[in-house]
Structure 1
Amino acid sequence: MKALLFTLTFLVLTGWFPFLTFAQSSTETDFQKAREIAFEQKNYSQAIQLCKQVLQQDPEYIDARILLGRLYYWNGAADSAIVELKKAYEQMPAYEDATQALADVLYFEKQYDEALHYLAAGLTQHPQSRGLLTRKATVLAGKANYKQAYRLADSLLAGDPNNDQLLALTSQLREYSYENRIELTYDYTHFDEQFADAWHLAGISYGRQTKIGPITGRVNYANRFASKGWQFEADAYPRLSRTFYTYTSFAYSADLPIFPKVRAGLSLYANLPKAWEVEAGARFLRFDESIWAYTFSVGKYIQNFWVNGRTYLTQGNNSVANAYSLNTRYYLKGADNYASLIVGWGVSPDDRSQAVRLNSNEKLQSFRIGGGYRFAVAKRHIFSLNGNYENVEYLPETKGNQLNISTLYQFRF
């Protein structure tokens, strides 16, 4: 005890305590400065040097080592990043930030099994950590274990419905959750002026999950223009990477003008950070003449909401017609439970029940507004009901009203 008191007295008298306090203050100041330079100025090289200085003064400063690992990765040095983050993890295995940072880099480097190993270890320490569980779902999806990824993400979303990142992930995984699905659809259109008879459109489809993505075959039957006809189509959503996937579609019918002879589509989608998604694509319809349409859309998940704005530039029959739409969904309990609202102008080439109206030599206007509700029963049974009111210019300066009702039932297995 006397020796301890002597040592403390000596440190105070010789001025070592102020030095130690200054050293701690200096490392904290340098660490905060490194964060500022990294996050605000995006000067990763300078921030790396500051983190190294901090670790030279205090090799046990774990937050500085985690930041250094992340900075190495952002600066294109993946191997150095993994080395530093493994050092941080080994220094304190129970520290959740170290596990999360290491799992992030391993995921981006497609080292999925190793990422799952560290996440499993982290979850033994923090079994209810939503950060670790969300990363586990993301890694499982990267590994193409879509069923398990969807179930985990969907269960997390049920407890945190305002999490837009989880909502985006769950929505992306929804089509991968089961290998097979059968879908029945029916659309009814009533006219007050343009036609005496209502339009009817029914369809049945079978979809299957494959290694490249969902593929669907569909048969459509329509009764409109006082005639009947059939259409056969197939579409797919091949996934190219974690960020990009595509939409491809082709349909054929021998029953013109009930259906276009040929309808085809191609789009490229990009899932961007912060729950953004963008799309660019083209559509082709062949009636007696060919019609091309180019489409662009931007969507974002904002807590419980998904908002998507879309435009079409349609050219054909010596005319150009623009179409615009704003679609909003409010998610309730999961990716298959939401209410929707849509406002639009013009005719969409993707609207199976109305796209035949593009077979016209006139550039006619229309306005529509509608809403709907989609819900799941026992996860396998999906039901949807939508209604739209539309004010349509069917002849130059001549307008009529129509009511569209759409229903859907899907069984997944």
Structure 2
Amino acid sequence: MAYNGNPDTSFFTARDLAFGGNGPVARDTLRHILTKFPNYTDVRNLLAKTYSWDKKYDEARKEFNKITSVERKNKEVWVAAIKNELYAKEFHIALGLANKALIYLSNDPDLEALRGQALKDLSESKTNIESNGTKIREETSEKTTFTNTFGISNAFEVFDIAYEPMMYTSLEYQRETKAGKIIPRLNYGNRFEIQGLQYELDFYPKFSERFYGYLNYGISRSVIFPNHRVGAEVFVNWPKNMEISLGTRYLDFDNVRAHIITASAALYQGNYYFSIRPYFLPDINKGTGLSGTLSARRYFRDKANYLGITIGMGYSPELRQLQDGDELLAETVLYIESQQAMLEYRFSGKKTPNLYRANLGLGRQELVFESGRFFWVVSAGITYQVMF
């Protein structure tokens, strides 16, 4: 189908998708633009970068070469092309590209630094000689496209009064498909000296270049988890680097059922990401319960590496359930005063594609059984993901 849209608008949409982790969908949009505007450099450059982020180094190299063979003084493209070869551990090619770039952009400090890095990596990767004189073959970079991820998460919360420490563990498997990402998950919790399991399934269906969704279902027989948990949301990639969504959450406990409305608005600005998410709990007798979070991230070399902060006001219905005496509380806590802040850092390994995430949080919340009195909670967690 011929492309008939606005190339700038489509480019911004694709950029949002790429930074939001939807590389395959972003590439579909970018390739579609290039069918009519093959010389749109920013589009081809982003297309090449998404290939590189997803470790498709050969495909990225082809796209970078199409630009550098014509635009000799585009520093941004040269830098991205050299980094692609460094990630691929093709240090000879990286050195050659750096030398070539410096012919057109002489004495550029960033290109000089990349040239130095290529020389250093090339030296360190040279073949070692064993004592018997036989050679050890240099390891080659893995160029497999990873569509599977296995992850394990551990977290705990410590309270200054009233409650014993709480511990959480999750095991999950992610599978990238043409229809979207599928994530089965097993959650373990130890709260109030009660242990329990919850089984969950997430699905992120792709509807079109601009629309995708989120579907969730969880089930548990333990009192520390909802009997049933359901989530549904639709996301729309908007012009000017924005994304909006509207959805719902449903929590079903033994004696309480909570229907929650949620939405979000996100903005991508360069290497930065900002979002806001409110939760509304309509109730005829108590009035509307309101809570929400504000988040910000600073991305580094790619979408997998970032530093983020989340600030919450009110009680998040998806995070924590407390108890009063022998009774677990679900809906009630949505109406109490609470504030939270959490820092998170995610990074990828230097020699492996695996991902690591660490978070540290601090919260202040009103006691359910004593209005006006507050407690403090410190939370921490770590996640490890293996890609294959």
Out of 345, 367, 375, the residue aligned to residue 373 of structure 1 is 345
1:409 matched to which residue of 2?
A: 384
8 Å CA contact 1:137–1:148 kept in 2: the answer is: no
Superposition pairs of residues 333-352 of structure 1, within 5 angstroms: 333-351=301-319
Change (3 A) 1:266 1:150: farther
Alignment correspondent of 2:174? 207
Partner SS state of residue 349, structure 1: coil
Matched-pair contact (CA < 8 Å) for 2:226–2:251: yes
Name the CA distance, whole Å, in 1 between partners of 2:55 and 2:203.
Answer: 19
1:109 CA displacement? 11
Q: Over the residues paired in the alignment, what is the CA RMSD in angstroms?
A: 3.9
CA contact 2:148–2:174 (8 Å) conserved in 1: yes
Would the aligned equivalents of 1:327 and 1:341 in 2 still touch at CA under 8 Å? yes
Aligned AA (1:380): P
Matches within 5 A, 1:167-246: 178-195=146-163, 197-246=164-213
CA distance in 2: counterparts of 1:157 and 1:232, whole angstroms: 45
Between 327-336 and 353-362, the greater mean CA deviation after superposition: 353-362
Say yes or no: does 1:301 pair with 2:268: yes
CA 1:405–1:317: 2 relative to 1, 3 Å: farther
Tell me, what secondary structure is at the counterpart of 2:318?
coil
Contact 1:266 1:281 in 2 (8 A): yes
1:49-128 equivalences in 2 (<5 Å): 115=35, 119=38
1:345-360 mapped onto 2 (5 Å cutoff)? 345-351=313-319, 358-360=330-332
How far off its partner does 1:359 sit? Answer: 4.0
Between the aligned partners of 1:353 and 1:405, the Cα distance in structure 2 is 17
Q: Which residue of 2 aligns with 1:394?
A: 367
SS at match of 2:301: strand
Q: Which residue of the other structure, out of 358, 366, 373, is the alignment partner of 1:385?
A: 358
Mapped contact 2:277–2:294 kept (Cα < 8 A): yes
Which of the residues 251, 255, 260 maps onto 1:285? 251
- Output the CA distance in 1 between the equivalents of 2:202 and 2:77: 29
Name the CA distance, whole Å, in 1 between partners of 2:303 and 2:58.
10
CA distance in 2, matches of 1:158, 1:387: 37
| Deviation, structure 1 residue 350 | 3.1
C-alpha distance after superposition, 1:170-222 (max 9, x if no partner): xxxxxxx6211101011100011131x20001010111111210101111111
Pick from 45, 48, 51: which aligns with 1:133? 45
Shift of 1:289: 1.5
Aligned length: 283
Match of 2:227 among 258, 261, 282: 261
- The whole-number CA distance in structure 2 between the counterparts of 1:151 and 1:403 is 45
- CA pair 268-151 structure 1, distance change in 2 beyond 3 A: farther
Write the distance in 1 (CA, Å) between the matches of 2:374 and 2:189: 24
Q: What amino acid is the match of 1:198?
A: P
Question: What's 2:83 paired with?
Answer: none
Shift in Å at residue 380 of structure 1? 2.0
Higher relative CO (Cα under 8 Å, sequence separation at least 6) belongs to 2
TM superposition score normalised by structure 1: 0.60
Q: Which moved more, 1:241-250 or 1:355-364?
A: 355-364
**Partner Cα distance (1:191, 1:282) in 2:** 30
Larger radius of gyration: 1
TM-score (norm 2): 0.64
Q: Deviations over 1:354-398 (max 9, x none)?
A: 898634377211001121211011462110111110001122212
How far has the Cα of 1:318 moved from its partner?
Answer: 5.1
Task: State the shift of 1:262 in Å.
Answer: 0.7
Query: Displacement of 1:134 after TM fit?
Result: 2.4
Percent of pairs with identical residues: 24
Unpaired runs of at least 5, structure 1: 1-68, 75-106, 124-128, 141-145, 161-176
- State the alpha-carbon separation in 2 of the partners of residues 266 and 242 from structure 1: 19
CA distance in 1, matches of 2:44, 2:5: 20
Task: Indicate how the Cα distance of structure 1 residues 150 and 382 shifts in structure 2: closer, same or farther if over 3 A, else same.
Answer: farther
In structure 2, how many angstroms separate the alpha carbons of the residues matched to 1:290 and 1:150? 52
Distance 2:174 2:317 in 1: 22
Q: Which residue identity does 2:379 align to in structure 1?
A: N
The verdict on how the C-alpha distance between 1:243 and 1:260 changes in structure 2, with shifts beyond 3 A counting, is same
Cα 1:280–1:381 change in 2 (3 A) is same
Residues 376 and 157 (structure 1 numbering): CA distance in 2 closer, same or farther, change over 3 Å?
farther
